[in-house]
Amino acid sequence: MSNASELLQLDLQLTQGKFHLQCQLNLPASGFTVICGRSGCGKTTLLRCIAGLTRAQGAVRFKNIDWQHEKKFLPAWQRPIAYVFQQPTLFPHLTVRDNLLFALKRVPPAERRISLDDAVNWLGLENLLDRKPNALSGGQQQRAAVARSLLANPALLLMDEPLASLDIDSKLEILPYLERLRSQLGIPVIYVTHAPDEMSRLADQLVLMEEGRVLAHGALNALLTNPNLPLTQHQEAAAVLDAVIEAHDAHYHLTQLRVGSAVLLVPLSPLPIGSHTRIRILARNVSIALDAPLHSSIQNCLQAKIVDIQIHQQEADALVRLAMDDAVLLSRITRRAVDQLQLQAGMTVYAQVKAIALIPH
Partner 1 sequence: MNTGDLSAIWLTLKLATTTTLLLLLIGTPLAWWLTRTRSRLAGFISVLVAMPLVLPPTVIGFYLLLAMGPHGVIGQFTQALGIGLLPFTFTGLVIASVLYSMPFVVQPLQNAFDSVDKSLLDAAAMLRANRFDAFLHIVLPLSAPAYITAAILCFAHTVGEFGVVLMLGGNIPGATQVLSVQIYNHVEAMQYSNAHWLAGGMLLFSFVVLSALYSLRKSGGLRV
Strands 156-160 and 359-360: unpaired
Query: Residue from 149, 200, 225, 287 that binds partner 1 (CB under 8 A)?
Result: 149
Contact 323, 232 (CB under 8 A): no
Q: How far is CA 143 from CA 152, 162, 208, 361, in A?
A: 15, 10, 27, 20
Q: Does 2 bind partner 1 (CB under 8 A)?
A: no
Q: Does 59 bind partner 1 (CB under 8 A)?
A: no
Q: How far is CA 13 from CA 24, 25, 54, 97, 350, in A?
A: 9, 12, 11, 39, 48
Q: How remote is the C-alpha of 27 from its chain's centroid?
A: 14
Taking the least distance from each CB to partner 1, the nearer of 68 and 269 is: 68
Q: Does 81 bind partner 1 (CB under 8 A)?
A: yes
Q: What's the rounded Cα separation, in Å, for the pair 239 and 237?
A: 7
Task: Find the shortest distance in angstroms from Cβ 76 to partner 1.
Answer: 4
Query: Residue from 59, 74, 76, 216 that binds partner 1 (CB under 8 A)?
Result: 76
Helix axes 138-151 and 96-105, enclosed angle (nearest 10): 20
Taking the least distance from each CB to partner 1, the nearer of 35 and 81 is: 81
Task: Find the shortest distance in angstroms from Cβ 199 to partner 1.
Answer: 23
Binding mask 4-43 for partner 1 (x = CB under 8 A): ----------------------------------------
Q: Does 106 bind partner 1 (CB under 8 A)?
A: yes
CA 329, 241, 260, 266 dihedral sign is positive
Q: Does 83 bind partner 1 (CB under 8 A)?
A: yes
**Eight-class DSSP state of 127:** G
Q: Does 82 bind partner 1 (CB under 8 A)?
A: yes
Name the H helices within the chain.
43-51, 96-105, 116-122, 138-151, 168-184, 196-202, 220-224, 335-341
Q: Does 103 bind partner 1 (CB under 8 A)?
A: yes
* Angle at 161 (CA atoms; ends 159, 166), nearest 5 degrees: 125
Task: Find the shortest distance in angstroms from Cβ 260 to partner 1.
Answer: 40
Q: Does 87 bind partner 1 (CB under 8 A)?
A: yes
Task: Find the shortest distance in angstroms from Cβ 162 to partner 1.
Answer: 13
Footprint of partner 1 (CB under 8 A): 51-53, 75-78, 81-83, 85, 87, 89, 91-93, 102-103, 106-107, 148-149, 152
